[in-house]
Amino acid sequence: DWLVGIIRNNTAREDAARLMKTVGGINNMTPDEVATAFREQLTNEEFGAKGGAGLGMLQIAKKTGSRLKAHIAPVTENEYACTSEVAASLR
């Protein structure tokens, strides 16, 4: 009855921190706030070297209506293992 998507990758400490900040911010939003933030990001022309500041995460939250999960764990001093998870009902 559920589809669960899990993404794992290793990244630099600052990118791991950015993931946690993004997921935390999105999870504190209402569905209407997610939709508004998504629309605003679509018109934001300022993309950094690492992408568009959470647009993909906003889209996942908007489409699934689910809370996102993220976990980070140190691998080395400056490298972190990142795990992102979302579950969506198939009903």
Q: What is the pLDDT of residues 18-66, one digit of tens each?
A: 999 999 999 999 999 999 998 888 887 665 566 555 778 888 888 888 7
- pLDDT value for 64: 83
- pLDDT value for 40: 86
How confident is residue 16, by pLDDT bands cut at 50, 70 and 90?
very high
Q: The tokens 């490298």 sit on which residue?
A: 79
- pLDDT value for 89: 83
Beta bridge partners of 89: 2
Residues 6 or more apart in contact with residue 22 via CB below 8 angstroms = 53, 54, 57
- pLDDT value for 53: 54
Count CB atoms within 10 A of the CB of residue 32: 8
